Copies of this chain bind each other. A is one copy, B any other.
């Protein structure tokens, strides 16, 4: 059987998982691809730190060029992370005619379209299934199974760290700070959790999902992004008592040929499939005009799930090499789209305010809502210390422009303080 040589950049958690799967399932992979896949060379920072790999007969090097310029290597697997200089390494590999598999979400979200063009020009494959929702094969599913359908909405829980933190806050009534600390201690959150808790990581994934769903490139600045770091435990418990679970939801919706892409805390009805996604798991809902709503659920990160997605990409690349069909883009679908205006984006909202507990205050809030032509399904006074009351309203469907009007009016009312405003998801029938 012919062999195909694979080089790797990086040998951290995911890289170790890739190596393990490639070794343990070599026979099955050969049966599927008709080729023996051999990892021959791995570029690492400290060669001496991996004696067990050297024993496998794999060459370790601290020079990435030794991998990038090796004429025998056909597939380069990038699992070192980071945008610079990793981008240049991938470009060099592609220009050297190698196929590239990467799990690098930040890089693909920020420089993906540039890399895709270089891959195409060099008739090389560039695959990155692992970059979104680790173990969930969502990108290839969109490419293969929604090809003839028109996707109308993609939404989901695409960041495991924040979902872990929110799960703890809901289940144990913890504050955000306490839940973050516990997540850090257990290794579910990094010591600098900014990218996760501010919603940036989820936003990068929504950029990639938007590309696959609508064939449209959007930038981070095109998205409305809100993290979980401002969430008050009071609102989590209040939502719970009303039958909702608070989740950080990314959504990319097509509205009258315009796109609205956002990441924000959202109230999810308890009987909605997204409400049952616990801890570090991810889930993506895709709504197609023909298919209706489908959901894909699984581990969003972790060594082996992510490594499995990388190996699936290596297998797909190998099949293309065998078939002589390399260099077709992962997702060939391209179109332009403008962003939706706030007047086009509709939802129901949860609005929490604090106000003096004196007659006339509730009337003021009602007037603000009425002036914005907003009707509500419920208004609840949730707590009062005799002086100040907390009031929560859930609106019917209103536009984002109406919500902005309401928030502006509340800001102008000295005696009413806005504590939170979150989207409320519709029930899934």
Q: Which positions in A face B, CB cutoff 8 Å?
A: 17, 21-22, 25, 28-29, 31-32, 129, 135-137, 140-141, 144-150, 271-273, 275-279, 283, 288-299, 302, 304-305, 307-309, 311-312, 315-316, 323-325, 332-333, 428-429
Contacts and interface: CB of A to CB of B under 8 A. Distances in A.
A20 to B, nearest CB: 8
B148 A311 contact: yes
B148 A137 contact: no
B145 A140 contact: yes
A292 B311 contact: no
Contacts of A293: 298-299
A140 B146 CA distance: 12
Contact of A295 (B275, B291, B297): B297
28 contacts: A21-B148, A21-B290, A22-B148, A29-B148, A31-B332, A31-B333, A135-B292, A136-B294, A140-B144, A144-B144, A144-B312, A144-B316, A145-B312, A146-B308, A147-B315, A273-B297, A278-B429, A290-B304, A291-B305, A291-B308, A292-B298, A293-B298, A294-B296, A295-B295, A296-B297, A297-B297, A323-B323, A323-B325
A135 B307 CA distance: 28
A240 to B, nearest CB: 13
A23 to B, nearest CB: 11
Nearest to A323: B325
Nearest to A287: B298
Given A147-B315, A429-B279, A332 B273 contact: no
B25 A150 contact: yes
